[in-house]
Structure 1
Amino acid sequence: MPKVVIPRAIVTADPVTGQVACIPDQAVVIEGDVIVEVGDARTTLEKHPGVEPQRFSNSLLTPGFVNGHHHVGLTPVQLGSEDSNLESWLAIRTANPEIDLGVDTAYSAIQMIRSGITTVQHLQGWYDSDVADPLAAGRAAIDTYARIGMRASYAKLIRDQNFFIHSDDLELLAGIPEQYHARYRSMVEAFRAPLEDKLTTFTVLKEDYADNPLIAIQLGPCNFHWLSDAALERFGELSAQTGAPIHLHFLESIYQSLYLDRRAGAQRVDYLSKSGILSDRLTLGHGTWLGPADIEALSGAGASVCNNCSSNFRLSSGRLPLLDVLDAGVNVGIGIDEAGINDDHDMLQEMRLIYTVNREPGMSKRKVSAEQVFAMATVGGARTTGYGNGHGTITAGAPADLVLFDENRLRHPFQLDGVSEVELLVQRSRNDTITDVMIGGQWVMTDSVLTTIDEAAVTDEVVRQCAAVDREKHRADREFATALDTAVRDWFIQEYGF
């Protein structure tokens, strides 16, 4: 027996054009995990006699949102690392303690579902356990999403060369106190496992989860300066052979842009063409320092960009030239990255931030529209995940991933006419305006209560594990991380002059 959902109106982007519309009096018919029909409510009900519809007369129904770039649950700030510039931040967060990966994943999944996220692009690679046993770490995250019923596109972040600086990491030994040399050497060596060994994680996980419709396995070359040309070419080959999408951190900081100039010269983004990864299967995470020629190359290849606005601001990286990217016809998704501006993995806040900061001054200047932001959060992000078939939209054939917003709460305490439903969603929605969330045809939240996970138990376990952190060890780890941070800062100042 199919499910029939009838809201006051649906808000969705067209799967081909990306144009967003609000359409009243629609019924959405769901069979299994797929939307099979969308049409006039009265006519649709006549086609399905005997089916009792689920009516939400005061609600807007939207597709589930896609968090196109996610790493961890407990945020770096929660684990003792203040925001800094990216390169320094990577060093100082080596002191962060680790809690159980399954618990950490569940903690962030709860926050994401409450903000309407039904699909997450999980990019894993920060923890010690990711290095020690990447398959076990991958399964811990993926199986958690599967138990909750959340759609997850998973990639293990892989690197085969320098991590902390744009050269051999062992060069930093000259600036690190001798007492930390053995620890630092061990850390660097752990990153240097053979590339093919690391790629085994991709091939094994892809086979293991091939029959789970909620799980997709992607390729995660970590960042351009962390990858040799040989590694880039290997990723290009694998993507072409398997059809797997690629998510690559790229041009996040000013230093990464300067490094790209040194390595690629005038080619810049076009440099990726020779490896085969510059294609419509590629998503660039961040892209903060994209220039006009870079954007043109992305547009020509049909590649995508993931806008990680909060992260770019928090780590002093800059701002994606979003208006130029959109004007060039490049597909754009939204990623909350490590934390979001409020440290809570909130997609609604991320959308509002993007909408607010991308406005040029002057009466006739450009600004991003609410419709563009909504499309980025749904169909734009969906195009980077590889699920296909209308993912990120409310159309026949699309996955049944849906979110209900209570219009009474959206308009509380007062809202005059003149503001469109899309504008209202982007400007005024909060987590408490979302009442129900469906993923793959299953209600995972009803009447604001999560149904597939014990939220209180997860929170209690986070509290228990964090309370058990060895404070003395953490202080010692902070001393090491501070010494590493000093060496990293000195290297970049010497190398780039600032």
Structure 2
Amino acid sequence: MLGEIQIMSEFLIRGKYLVTPHVNSDSVSVLSDHGLHQKNGRIVKVAPFHELRSRFPHLEVIGSERQVILPGLVNSHYHQGFSFLQLGQPDRTTDTYRFQGAWDVDPYLEHLYGAMQMIETGTTTVQVIYDPGRGRDPLDELSTSKVIKAYLDSGMRVCYAPEIVNQNTIIAGPNGGEREFAASLPTDLKRRFTRFFDKEHLPVEELISRNEDVFSKYSDSNTRLRINVAPGNVHRCSDDLLIKLRDLALKHKTTMHIHLQEWYNQLLYGLWAWGKSPLQHLNDLDFLGPNLDCVHSVWVNDKDIETMARRGVSVSTNPTSNFRLQAGITPIYKFLDKNITMALGTDEVGLNDDKDMIQEMKLLHKVHRLPGVRIPPLTASQVFKMSTINSAKVVGWDDAIGTLETGMNCDVILMNLDHVEYPFLDPNVPTLDAILYRGRGIDIDTVIVEGEIVMNDRRFTKFDKNALYRELGGIAKLPLDPIKSDLNDLRQEITPYLGTFYNENSTPTFNSEYIFNGEKNS
């Protein structure tokens, strides 16, 4: 029966509730006893279920009165299948985590594993910023094909962008970048570090040409695939590279995603290099615009936010990542006050070391709560929009996904309501609040992407989870990657010198959105 449902071109979906944001509205609708009619991957009609059943008595029905129909969640920022911890790297406060671990994991298996974790917790679309680690080529043709194939084989919708850099990949702070840091090291360690970081960077023209090849090969090749552009960070890209990547995105009418002022040290690098914040430097380059997503944006000040609002950029926030990597907390209320589009991503460091967007939504909902009553907490509707239609806009797909309106693609998840409503729930509790407070990733029963059922009754229809686990488990039997093993040794040796280089005794003196208790009175 499952196989028959999977390939059906037309069926009905029913639920006790149907929840959807709207493209041109701030509202989120919660419709009781509704369902939808999908045909060939598109939503044909949303209506009370009894009306749909009366009109289409012959069609198969997916879902039940014990479930809620939701749009598939959209993860606006993500990198890799395995977490840093799985690869042998505990959480780090600086970019040294980019040395990665000592295991060489096949990109296909790793990203199929990531897709699996996202599907089973309700994510149907992901923006993948592919970063294979320092010393590895993000534009390698074989790796690119494997990563893309993993998501398409899983049934997910994927926006793919290789992360492009040509300088300061790991270190940037108040005293400069990697070359300045290398100059501060003892002679032998300087030699080893310099030999390591010099070998990665390709000429700008070659980076652009090979990125163009990705567009040529994959654009319009699959209805569940988009190619986007991802400059790694302001300090990781030369001005020439930034400008050419901007032009590449404009040429292909696609979105760009850049890490921005994630750590305080990155802001300080901007003051050292340009005498202004990295955001203001991007503004000088005419880089900012409505197609740009500024990821993290933790250490931005009021002037930066005014500029971002004026230029129409969006922001993807990653609250768990910001906590685990000790970056800080995004000033989300200031962004919202300026009507800046806010989206939500997991990065790859979830609270449970997974890719659970529902849990990320819960953390987002709870962490931005200031003492007192002057600023109310985020509403469930705001959080829900950030993880659906807003994230769809950020990845460039808001014309097709993110809502359950007529004509949109049928990207749908069904959540069981047993845990949400039982043993008791006051009937006056708003449905969306109940889902956000009490719903869990493991309550996702069914996942549908473009009308295709990719998970049903928590069983995957397009790959074997147990077989994937067996293959991944075999990694421990493989020899350590000698290059990555050497990088781990190098990371440990340079770490003691970073404190001095980053002036760690200095602390942020402004833009501290969330202060420690009593700090104002100290």
Q: TM exceeds 0.5? A: yes
**RMSD value, Cα:** 2.4
Cα separation, 1, equivalents of 2:275 and 2:63: 58
Q: Which residue of 1 aligns with 2:43?
A: 35
Moved more, 149-158 or 259-268: 259-268
Structure 2 equivalent of residue 343 of structure 1: 353
1:380 matched to 2:386: no
The one of 211, 236, 250 equivalent to 2:246 is: 236
- Partner residue of 1:13? 21
Task: State the shift of 1:18 in Å.
Answer: 3.5
C-alpha distance in 1 between matches for 2:505 and 2:461: 53
- Give the structure 2 partner of residue 57 of structure 1: 65
When residues 389 and 457 of structure 1 are mapped into structure 2, their CA distance, relative to the original with a 3 A threshold, is same
Q: Does 1:433 align with 2:439?
A: no
Q: What displacement does 1:180 show?
A: 5.2
Q: How far apart are 1:454 and its partner, in Å?
A: 0.8
Can you list the C-alpha shifts for 1:424-460, whole angstroms capped at 9, x where unaligned? 1211111221100011111111011111111111111
Q: Does 1:419 align with 2:425?
A: no
Q: Which whole-Å CA distance do the structure 1 matches of 2:484 and 2:197 have between them?
A: 20
The amino acid of 1:200's aligned partner reads S
Map of 1:224 onto structure 2: 234
Deviations 1:107-158 (A, max 9, x none): 1111111110111110111336841862222111101111111111011111
Gaps of 5+ in 2: 1-8, 509-522
1:323-361 residue CA offsets vs partner (Å, 9 max, x unmatched): 111121111111111221211111111111111111111
Query: Is 2:149 the counterpart of 1:143?
Result: yes
Percent pairwise identity? 26
Match of 2:113 among 107, 118, 122: 107
8 Å contact from structure 2 (residues 130, 138) kept in 1? no
CA distance in 1 between counterparts of 2:485 and 2:222 reads: 43
- The amino acid of 1:127's aligned partner reads G
Cα deviation digits, residues 191-247 of structure 1 (max 9, x gap): 221122222343222222222011111101000111122122112211222111000
State the distance in 1 between where 2:426 and 2:488 align.
53
Distance 2:13 2:294 in 1: 36
Change in CA separation of 1:271 and 1:97 when aligned onto 2, cut-off 3 Å: same
| Aligned mate of 2:211, from 186, 190, 202 | 202
By how many angstroms is 1:163 displaced? Answer: 2.0
Q: Deviations over 1:233-273 (max 9, x none)?
A: 11221122211100000010011122233445457634323
Give 3-state SS (helix, strand or coil) of 2:68's partner: strand
2:302 pairs with 1:296:
no
Letter in 1 for 2:335: V
* Greater Cα shift, 279-288 or 73-82: 73-82
Provide Cα deviations, 1:447-488, integer angstroms capped at 9, x if missing partner: 111111111111111111133243998765432221132333
Distance 1:291 1:175, change over 3 A: closer
Contact 2:348/2:354 (<8 A) preserved:
no
Residue type matched to 1:386 in 2?
G
- Cα 1:316–1:407 shift into 2, 3 Å: same
Give the distance between the partners of 1:158 and 1:369, measured in 2 at CA.
36
In 1, Cα distance between the equivalents of 2:392 and 2:438? 23
1:168 Cα deviation after fit: 5.0
Structure 2 residue 321 is matched with structure 1 residue 315? no
- Counterpart of 1:139, as a letter, is S
- Alignment check: 8 A CA contact 1:253 1:318 kept: yes
TM-score (structure 1 length as normaliser): 0.93
What is the CA distance between 1:87 and its match in structure 2? Answer: 3.4
Q: 1:323-402 alignment to 2 at 5 Å? A: 323-402=333-412
Distance change in 2, residues 1:54/1:125 (3 Å):
closer
2:75 paired residue number: 67
1:266-277 equivalences in 2 (<5 Å): 269-277=279-287
Summarize the Cα distance change of 1:256–1:267 in structure 2 as closer, same or farther, 3 Å threshold.
Answer: closer
Using the alignment, how far apart are the partners of 2:487 and 2:245 within structure 1?
34
Which AA in structure 2 matches 1:208? K
Normalised to the residue count of structure 2, the TM-score between the two structures is 0.89
Distance in 2, Cα, partners of 1:132 & 1:240? 21
Q: Distance in 1 between matches of 2:73 and 2:453?
A: 15
1:158 to 154, 164, 173: 164
How many pairs were matched up? Answer: 496
For 1:419 and 1:494, locate their aligned partners in 2 and report how far apart those are by CA, in whole Å. Answer: 47
Give the secondary structure class of the aligned counterpart of 1:51. Answer: coil
Deviations 1:58-99 (A, max 9, x none): 110100111111111111111211112123434xx3444221
Distance of 1:321 and 1:277 partners within structure 2: 22
1:419 Cα offset (Å)? 1.9
- Structure that is richer in helix per residue: 1
CA contact (8 A) 1:219 1:244 kept: yes
Preserved contact between residue 264 and residue 299 of structure 2 (Cα < 8 Å):
yes
Distance, in Å, in 1 between the alignment partners of 2:207 and 2:23 is 35
1:77 corresponding residue in structure 2: 85
Structure 2 contact 102–480 (Cα < 8 Å) conserved = no
- The residue correspondences of 1:249-260 to structure 2 (distance < 5 A) are 249-260=259-270
SS in 1 for 2:80: coil
Deviation of residue 490 (structure 1)? 3.1
| SS of alignment partner, residue 12 of structure 2 | strand
State the one-letter code of the partner of 1:184. F
Looking at structure 1, the residues matched to 181 and 284 of structure 2 have their Cα atoms a distance apart, in angstroms, of: 31
Partner of 2:513: none
**Are residues 1:246 and 2:256 paired?**
yes
Contact 1:98 1:127 survives alignment (8 Å)? no
CA offsets 1:354-390 (integer angstroms, 9 cap, x no match) = 1111111113432111111111111111111112324
